[in-house]
A and B are shown apart, each in its own frame.
Chain A
Amino acid sequence: MSTLKSSAEDLTLNADGSGNDIIFQSNGSNVATLDQAGLLTATTFAGSAASLTAIPAANITGTLPAIDGSSLTGIAGRRNMIINGDMRVSQRGTSWAAIANATYTLDHWELYNNGIGAYTVTQDSTGPTGFANSFKIDCTTADASPTGSDYLLLYQRFEGQDLQLLKKGTASAESVTLSFWVKSNKTGNGQVNLQDMDNTRMIGNTYTISSADTWEQKTITFAGDTTGAFNDDNGESLKIEWWFDSGSSYASGSTPTSWEAAASTDRNAGGTLALADSTSNYINITGVQLEVGTAATDFEYRSYGEELALCQRYFETSFDGGVSVNNSSAAGTIVAGGTNSGAITGYVGLACVQYVVSKRAVPTITVYDADSPRNTGKCSRHKLGTARGDNQAVVTGDSGTRSFSAYSSGTHTATGLIFHFAADAEL
């Protein structure tokens, strides 16, 4: 055996000259190469790898060995706390012109417009790669000089019982990270806040739209709050809000980058978008994800059926194709009774409707008759083989989170009733 050895001093192997590597051979074959860049390439490697750290994820390729999942962190199912974050579900319709203040539009998303121009909201069929829909707000009447209390913002609200994983109000309070895609003709800063509705606290931060008319993904991490626990119930404990414009009453403070006692003046203090200042303005948002931790992960896609069911905890309807008095479709109509004999005026019933998904709370029920346009708070009465009567009195009652009943006390001679419904249990 021959040994290359130095004692009490460094040993230098020098493949001098550009492009020359240090090559190790065994039995006449190359088994390892150390190149000029310091890259060691060997035919095999053995060792515990205990001292290998900070390996770039891109360099981990090929088939991974079996891994004990208990040692993995930051990976969990159902990461996204946002419902309908990809704006796919829109049971109420797909477009709302001159939208009123505090209006639910796409499922579980609520727009507030208090005296600051007029807008059309649509479920837009555009989005960044991987997203077929987005929430679009299009300014149709401008207000370049909003008064102090004017505002334009978008909400999503959360039940307290779905927030217990955040450990709010404890020393172990979790951070959350928001990620979303946004596109607008406007550039500048938008502000997003978390509002703790149980303890009247808030935290917020801004994001920057850098390029007009370009989809950009934004990420904001909010620190955990060691003060004020969320109620463990079905009430509203948290809302997340995107501010697009406001008067000075909401902008004269400072952006609350740490948790603080809620202050109206801070809610849009960092916002510069001024979406109301021109009818050329619009903004699209989609791919919204809110997850525990300090890192944004890829958007968690859920099936349409899953997403719809999550939305139906808050809103459900018998209409196909959007809730509207102008929706003349009979598809999904609730029909009760209607035999061809024994027709009467007065009490006719009883229709019992069981919801597809149990509701968050006992919902508000709107009943629509079969007229065109439909009358709300009315039903149609019918008897097999005779013309139905529209715009007839209807009473709903015995309403719970799983079902309601309805009867008609109208004047049209009939044996049964016909109606569509919408059940609203939004926060």
Chain B
Amino acid sequence: MIITNAKYFKSVIFDTVVGIEATIDGVEMSVPLDTNNRHYFEILKQVDEGTITIAEAD
């Protein structure tokens, strides 16, 4: 997966981080912080490899 523009986002209701907005293979997606989610798993992998970083939420 080619992942760019990764950035945390917060809950609509609560002021807590609930996911990552990212462009994955050219498509903007909202990725939950769930290790069973294949996109989140890949984001963590690429962060560990130093390929990407995740920007803080607004």
Contacts and interface: CB of A to CB of B under 8 A. Distances in A.
A16 interface: no
A397 B19 contact: yes
A352 to B, nearest CB: 10
A398 B36 CA distance: 17
Given A102-B1, A376-B27, A396-B19, A363 B12 contact: no
Contact of B12 (A100, A234, A407): A407
A424 interface: yes
Nearest to B27: A376
Interface string B14-45: 10001101011101111110101111100000
A100 B18 CA distance: 29
A220 to B, nearest CB: 27
Contacts of A360: 36
Contacts of A399: 18-19, 30, 32
B13 A398 contact: yes
A393 to B, nearest CB: 10
A36 to B, nearest CB: 69
A138 interface: no
Contacts of A424: 29, 38-39
B7 to A, nearest CB: 11
Given A363-B32, A395-B9, A396-B19, A425 B27 contact: no
B30 A364 contact: yes
A395 B32 CA distance: 12
A364 B32 contact: yes
Contacts of A378: 28
Interface of A: 100, 102, 234-235, 349-350, 360-367, 375-378, 395-399, 405-407, 424-427
Given A366-B27, A399-B18, 4 more contacts: A396-B12, A398-B14, A424-B38, A424-B39
A-B complex: 8 closest residue pairs judged by Cβ atoms: A377-B28, A361-B36, A362-B32, A362-B34, A376-B28, A396-B30, A397-B12, A364-B39
